[in-house]
Amino acid sequence: MPPPREPQRIAKLLARAGIASRREIERMIEERRIAIDGVAVEKPATLLTSLHGVTVDGQPVKAPAPARLFRYHKPAGLLTTERDPKGRPTIYDRLPKDLPRVMPVGRLDLNTEGLLLLTTDGELKRQLELPATGVERSYRARVFGDISQAQLEELINGVEIEGIRYGSIDANLERRTGRNGWVEMRLREGKNREVRRVLEHLGLQVSRLIRTAYGPFPLADMPTGAVDEIRQHDLAAFRKTLGKNPPRHGEGDRAAHGGGGPARDGSRRRPAPRAGTSTPHSARSSNGPSASPKRSGPAGGKPSPRSPSRRGPKN
């Protein structure tokens, strides 16, 4: 890969090379772990045109390899962090040992399960996380309490909770039995604990929360703990949409089949079947042998996270 033509901050170049996130690299610079030709870097704003002569912990930094993106079905009970001072289990304790060094795209809190994207590229991570990029996240929440579809539809205009403004949320009451129900939510910001806070603001108790998609990449029927890689041409096609009003999850399929999402006149359409635009080329489970995810339905007859009948740990 040719070096950048214009000087760039060393933190950005190192993130692009997959060393760490920009924030972590800034901490590494403070700890004097990063050097250029043997001289410790003192400022994160240091400008470079390449990583030639740059070392981290005394080791030369290799030129950036093409970005890679993985799907991971995170179980509840794991922290989305590399280390925990309290010694609680993290995703890195469960990821397959043969994975390259990866960074999580965003976070899922301790009791949230579902799709977590992992990447080798710090700049791709940042692009996917930025609210300005507008990548849609989809969730399903098992809730207890009284709620109507009309109340959920008011979230399309956003909501302010304790001085924090949350942007537009497309929410749909999928199923309800008595005071128990499942709510599907789609949003583009992903503020800290946004889904839980919004639902609790509506008077609902959340007993289970699952992220079902990030951009065009679905959780589908991946086994819990499984990891697979997004194909390079699917990743390249997706990156071209970043910052250009990227499609909602499965939007292309909905257009073809005439379903899904709010209609332009404000009326609600019935949700279309879930579909993904990406077919990963491999799947690896940290809990067992390799498995190939199937798009047509749950593997082995087990319910997918889409199914409200599947029981799981309470949040």
Residues with catalytic function: 109
Do residues 278 and 220 touch, judged by C-beta distance below 8 A? no
Nearest CA to 190 out of 261, 73, 107 is that of: 107
110-148 in b/e form (b: 16+ CB < 10 A) is ebbbbbbbbbbbbbbbbbbbeeebbbbbbbbbbbeeebe
Q: At what angle do helices 122-129 and 22-30 cross, to 10 degrees?
A: 130
Nearest CA to 231 out of 273, 293, 170 is that of: 293
Tell me how far apart the alpha carbons of residues 16 and 181 are, in angstroms, rounded to a whole number. Answer: 42
Nearest CA to 120 out of 78, 160, 68 is that of: 68
Do residues 22 and 125 touch, judged by C-beta distance below 8 A? no
Nearest CA to 223 out of 298, 119, 315 is that of: 298
